[in-house]
Amino acid sequence: MKAIFKSTVPPLLVLLFSYAAFSKLFTITAFDEQLHNQAFPGWLADFLLYFLIPAELITAVLLCFKRTVIVGLLGSTLMLLAFTAYIVLVLAGYFSKSPCSCGGVLNGLGWKSHLIFNLVFTLLAITSLTIHLKQEVRDKE
């Protein structure tokens, strides 16, 4: 089971983050509008516009190499946790408005479905990260 997680989760995350980055990049104007329609301040939307795409692409690349897979899994986990926390706040009614949960193929998902999707990928990333870290410790002994 551990071998399956080690060999399949990083490539799944590469697909997820590559798709997410390129769908944003190819529709950058729509992505910018979606960010500015969210419930956070404009300066944060501006920051995320320039931060998310490179972060997703760098994370995808880090996941491709044995020497950097742990850093990639950590980055994946942090980004997934951040977006999952945002979804939870939206669902809890924390924000004054609840804009679309837009995102390429996933734009057909509502917030609850998006939460489930993110929770699954977050758990996969955490599990894979744990397995990789334990293996690294064993390899150093």
As a whole number of Å, the end-to-end CA separation of the chain is 23
Alpha helix ranges (H) inside 37-110: 42-62, 69-91
Q: For 123-135, what is each residue's pLDDT tens digit?
A: 999 999 999 999 9
DSSP tag of 36: H
Q: For 47-98, what is each residue's pLDDT tens digit?
A: 999 999 999 999 999 999 999 999 999 999 999 999 999 999 989 988 777 6
